[in-house]
Chains A and B, each alone.
Chain A
Amino acid sequence: MASLVPCPHCGARPKEEFTVKGAAQVRPAPDTDKKSWVDYVYLRENPRGRYEEFWHHTSGCRRWLVVIRDTATHEIESSCDAAFAGQTDART
């Protein structure tokens, strides 16, 4: 019915404003071996519990976020702008 996703730029917004892409994986370097690429493109962990995903605030600020949520409880641990995903202080 409704659940809220915290956007670091816009605050909590309903999930209808977002598009989810799936696991927030790091893109391999272009010359990385084929297996890493196959993993990146096709293989997903599908854990029960903590999961890092790319979410796009499509009907809001249009920024890509890394959202960490629990797949079992839907509880969202944190979200941050994907451009700063590597920086610890970027998390809200």
Chain B
Amino acid sequence: MSDFRPTFRPALGAKTAITSAEVKLSALPEGAIVQVLAPPGEQDVASFLSGLGKGGVRTFSPGQWLIVGDEPMTQEDMKTLFETLEPRATGVDQSAGRARIRIDGKQAGRVLSKGTALDLSADAFPVGRSATTLIGHIAAHITRIDSDSFELIVLRGFAESLWDDLTRMSAEYR
């Protein structure tokens, strides 16, 4: 069946961005997400990962990072990346396992504060900072990517529910 063309279906493909002056909700492209896991005690992994230039590097958990990019990685590129990581760290492909949502605007922080107990003030959670937390009933990884912009990374199976929740949570600012 080499004439068959498998088609890709993004988790939030059916969602159109919600835009207003105060808050904007959009699904980010399903590019590449690589979970990087280092053995205990491995030093300077973050800077090593940044140096690879394969995408944005997010802290995920002690000894774990995510490499995030808007463009999908080919199987070969992924394999090469995994080889480059060894022996300092192991890569696990999560490109399809997680969906990314972006929320921007003056009220973005207030919308998220309806769900998370994280202190999202600019001092406590500056640009570049990441954390995994509950947003309502759903665990999600939050990164502040700009003063009024956050990237959310969530398990694919929960993506639609989180989107629906965020839609509800932002309704009063639209």
Residues on A lying within 8 angstroms of B by beta carbon are: 2, 4, 9-10, 13-14, 16-17, 58-63, 81, 83
Q: Which of A9, A14, A60, A81 has its CB near the most chain B CB atoms (within 10 A)?
A: A60
11 of the cross-chain contacts (CB-CB < 8 Å) are: A9-B61, A10-B133, A13-B118, A16-B134, A17-B117, A17-B134, A17-B139, A60-B132, A60-B139, A62-B61, A81-B62
Q: Are A59 and B61 in contact (CB under 8 A)?
A: no
Choose one: A2, A59, A63, A81; the contact of B133 (CB below 8 Å). A59
Return the chain B residue nearest A84 by Cβ.
B40
Return the chain B residue nearest A62 by Cβ.
B61
Q: Are B133 and A60 in contact (CB under 8 A)?
A: yes
Q: Which residues of chain B are within 8 angstroms of A16 by Cβ–Cβ distance?
A: 134
Given known pairs A63-B61, A81-B62, the reply for A10 and B40 (CB within 8 Å) is no
Q: Which residues of chain B are within 8 angstroms of A9 by Cβ–Cβ distance?
A: 61-62
**Other than the known A13-B118, A63-B61, what 13 A-B pairs have Cβ atoms closer than 8 Å?**
A2-B117, A10-B131, A13-B133, A14-B117, A16-B134, A17-B134, A17-B139, A60-B133, A61-B61, A61-B62, A62-B61, A63-B62, A83-B40
